[in-house]
Amino acid sequence: MPHQQASPKDYLHLHFLVLIWGFTSILGALVSIPSVELTFYRTLTACLLMPLVLVLRKVSFQLPRKAMLQMMAAGVLIAIHWILFFGAARVSNVSTCLAGISTSSLWTSLLEPLITKRKFLWFELIIGVVVMAGLYVIFYYEFDKAIGLAMGIVSALFATIFSILNGNFTKHHNSLVITFYEMAGALLGIVLFLPAYAYFFAENQILQLVPTATDWVCILILGGICTVYAYAAAVKLMQKFSAFAMNLTINLEPVYGIILAFLIFGEKEKMTSGFYIGTMIILVSVLSYPVINRRLRKHELLK
């Protein structure tokens, strides 16, 4: 099924969602509990809220068993993405974590044609390479934050696979139902992982499952606005954008997030000039995609 034509309103909506996701790294940095426990509460909150949304919208929960299991498996991928994402912000800082996420366009240009069997587009790979060049500049000037950057890059890989799979789900199922089963899969995956996490990784083999009052505020925002609303809206927009277009726009998440982080955390988020040069390279590549895509489509129509 071909994608519907995206309108300017759709582009603005997508950018608003990316702004919300840029804010998630800040919320993660404000929370006192570790990234695994935070992701557990985020998915738990989403799973409690989603049924209410489905009932209010009068949307049926029913799905073929195969589709349900596929969505739940995709949910495990997004849970891994969130754990690495929040973890990257902790071991480095918000800005470095977000820079790693910007590799999603390169991952998509390589993986989407393989997974969906769609035509390989040469200009997507070129733009993805340009994004990597921007990332190299950041890495060169911020080498002391290499672990956080690497975690962000791997986090982007899992987010990319998740987005590509979601693009296929939206062709056949309601976006709210998709989000519900993915959050259920994410929660189940984390619950199964918690014992191993507690034994091998948690400090003193003890899970930190008692959030503070501030933590609860951040968790509710993460679960309600940044997850239930943002992901359901994004899944619906996938009917109008390719996975590459979605992930390329999501590359603006570092830009929005870095600006917000600097406004909130101040000097703690101040980076070298090389970091901002690399970020600007990423920004230019993101903004160039819709222009190039539109011109190539017009050229094909004129043939």
**pLDDT (tens digit per residue) in 49-59:** 999 989 988 88
Do residues 187 and 132 touch, judged by C-beta distance below 8 A? no
User: Given this model, what pLDDT does residue 127 score?
Assistant: 83
Q: What is the per-residue DSSP string for 38-95?
A: HHHHHHHHHHHHHHHHHHHTT------HHHHHHHHHHHHHHHHHHHHHHHHHHHS-HH
Question: Residue 185, class by beta-carbon neighbours within 10 Å (0-12 exposed, 13-18 middle, 19+ buried)?
Answer: buried
Q: Give the torsion through C-alpha atoms of 97, 101, 106, 108, to 10 deg.
A: 150
Annotated domain spans of the chain: 8-302
Averaged pLDDT, 60-78 = 94
Query: For residue 64, is pLDDT > 60?
Result: yes
Query: For residue 1, is pLDDT > 50?
Result: no
User: Given this model, what pLDDT does residue 3 score?
Assistant: 56
Cα–Cα distance between 288 and 243 in angstroms, integer? 16
CA distances from 5 to 2, 10, 208, 221 (A): 9, 9, 46, 31
Do residues 252 and 113 touch, judged by C-beta distance below 8 A? no
Query: For residue 176, is pLDDT > 90?
Result: no
Q: How crowded is residue 270: how many other Cβ atoms within 10 Å of its Cβ?
A: 12
Query: For residue 291, is pLDDT > 80?
Result: no
Higher pLDDT residue, 79 or 113? 79
CA distances from 229 to 100, 135, 138 (A): 24, 30, 32
Among candidates 228, 220, 181, which has minimal Cα distance to 75? 181
Query: For residue 80, is pLDDT > 90?
Result: yes
**pLDDT (tens digit per residue) in 223-282:** 999 998 998 888 888 888 877 777 667 767 777 887 888 888 876 666 778 888 887 887
User: Given this model, what pLDDT does residue 166 score?
Assistant: 86
**pLDDT (tens digit per residue) in 180-221:** 999 999 999 999 999 999 998 888 889 999 999 999 999 999
